[in-house]
Structure 1
Amino acid sequence: MLLSLSSHWHFIWLVVASFIAGVMNAMAGGGSFISFPAMLSIGVPPIQANATNTVALWPGQLTSVAALRKDLRLDLLPVVLGASVVGGVSGAIVLLRTKQVTFLHMVPWLLLVASLLFGISGPVSRWLKQRSSDAHEDKPLPLIPLALTLLPVCFYIGYFGAGAGFLIMTALALFGLEKMHELNALKVTAACVSNLSAVFTFIFSGAIIWHYCLISMVFAGVGGYVGAQYARKMSAEVLRTIVVVTGCLMAAYFFWRNG
């Protein structure tokens, strides 16, 4: 009886956490700060939790790519896709070869770094928008150096991923891409393809806990729809602060738990 009740609470918590993660991703990003720890809290091993969470949240990224497809720079797309596939697959393979206990001890550091990355994304986004307002025409970019710069970012996405989106935008901007809508479209595409490459790697390796994955996927989708209705009504800075605080609290919890 107690075991059955505990199992029900596990599913309820996963439903709630997945819904909140979907809302967060639609409004500001950072949903993994909730859904990934939720997977761990219900007893999923760390590496399987990360893999399952990646698969569950990926469909939301696909819908974003569809919405932004008209803003893609086609001349840069092969470079971005190549770096995304290679980086995503290699990151996923390294994750799968990491020992469970090692990854568990890395979790608080990964959450903390992702939270800090998310925190500084605000000033970086304002800088990018300022550059975008001064841009008038497309410029050719050095493709090989760009690919080599995107590769480690996409590797990180395949390995863990939270907070990496603005790193892609920053890399593209540093190499000369100035238009904000093009930066955003390529960022979403790179993240989506990197995660899709990791998803296939996780599926073929048997690392997905499917009954948890499907529950999380459905309710993250519902949360994403709800969050999209309110995304423009809330302050971006307030949303970013909420995400950063959530990530730091989760990191603090895992530092305490691992200690």
Structure 2
Amino acid sequence: MVLDFSSHWHYVWLVAASLIAGVMNAMAGGGSFVSFPAMMAMGVLPVQANATNTVALWPGQLTSVAALREDVHIKLLPAVVTAAVFGGLTGAAVLLRTKQVTFLHQIPWLLLMGAVIFGVSGRISRWLWTRSSTPHVRHTPKMLPLFVTLFPIGFYIGYFGAGGGFLVMTVLALFGVEEMHTLNALKVVMACLSNMVAIGTFIVSGAVLWRYCVVSMVFAGLGGYVGAQYARRMNGDVLRAIVVTTGCVMAAYFFWRNG
């Protein structure tokens, strides 16, 4: 008996893309550049593809929060958590009210913006490390200005999200947060919370396609485990270049597709 795999190619692609996304997120980030287009390749509408992809990749963020909880700056949590929750909720609500064709035309620009942000994140990280190694008087930023500045980033994460974490780190650094581990921990907390409230909104509205979400979630988790084993062995600049190239290629594809 000959099995016909042609009708199931989309599941094979989703499994492969989810594995790759999990590996990328564990090693450098940017897994959505692969997993989100894979969701759309299954014939899922753009808004539902983004919602389903967000749910599928979220558990990896949750485990990261658990691992980094000791590095969180407690005094900054009120502003970070509030901006994450309200920003993510607003972004998700706006996404669900966005017309499919409108979001489809936004996709290449969002992917390209995410790739650019990721591309410059190396220089930002080095700048942050330089600031972290220089002794300064530690102070706590004022909460209201910090919330106002972080809210649009929370909105972006809830709406699409690629590269949002690096924006969080940059804003916190500009407000005087200099310890790199603290910046990274707060970045993960904000991304996790923004996506969490977005996920709740997506689930309640019925925007998540669970038959695809579960498959992607399982294999992204497996890819994350594999990627974590090799993360420290890989050259960071090489990984960043791979992620940025992937994002640019996906953006170019959607520009061509929408043209």
Matches within 5 A, 1:28-177: 28-135=28-135, 138-177=138-177
User: What per-residue deviation string (whole Å, max 9, x for no partner) do you get for residues 27-83 of structure 1?
Assistant: 000000000000011101000000000000000000000000000011111110100
Q: Shift of the alpha carbon at 1:136?
A: 5.5
SS in structure 1 of the partner of residue 66 of structure 2: helix
Distance 1:104 1:46 in 2: 6
Partners of 2:6 and 2:92 lie apart in 1 by: 31
What's the secondary structure of 1:138's corresponding residue?
Answer: coil
Paired with 1:136 and 1:149, the residues of 2 have a C-alpha distance of: 23
Q: Helix, strand or coil: the match of 2:75?
A: coil
- For the residues of structure 1 that align with 2:140 and 2:154, how far apart are their CA atoms? 22
Is the alpha carbon distance of 1:100 and 1:199 closer, same or farther for their aligned partners in structure 2, counting shifts above 3 Å?
same
For 1:244, the equivalent position in structure 2 comes to 244
TM-score (norm 2): 0.97
Structure 1 residue runs of 5 or longer lacking an equivalent are: none
Residues 141 and 175 of structure 2 are in contact (CA less than 8 Å); yes or no, is this contact kept in structure 1? yes
CA contact (8 A) 2:87 2:154 kept: yes
Distance 1:7 1:139 in 2: 59
Task: For 1:35 and 1:258, locate their aligned partners in 2 and report how far apart those are by CA, in whole Å.
Answer: 19
Shift of 1:138: 3.2
What RMSD, in angstroms, separates the aligned Cα atoms of the two structures?
0.9
SS at match of 2:74: coil
Alpha-carbon distance change, 97 to 6 in structure 1, aligned in 2, over 3 angstroms: farther
Letter in 1 for 2:174: L
Question: C-alpha distance in 2, partners of 1:78/1:60?
Answer: 23
User: Counterpart of 1:17?
Assistant: 17
Query: In 1, Cα distance between the equivalents of 2:93 and 2:26?
Result: 28
How far the C-alpha of 1:108 sits from its partner, in A, is 0.5
Percent of pairs with identical residues: 69
Q: CA deviation at 1:121?
A: 0.3
- TM-score, structure 1 normalization: 0.97
Q: 1:98 to 1:6 in 2, by over 3 A?
A: farther
Distance 1:127 1:100 in 2: 39
Alignment of 1:173-184 (within 5 A): 173-184=173-184
CA deviations over 1:86-128 (Å, ceiling 9, x no partner): 0000000000000001100110010001000000000000000
In structure 2, runs of 5+ residues without a counterpart are none
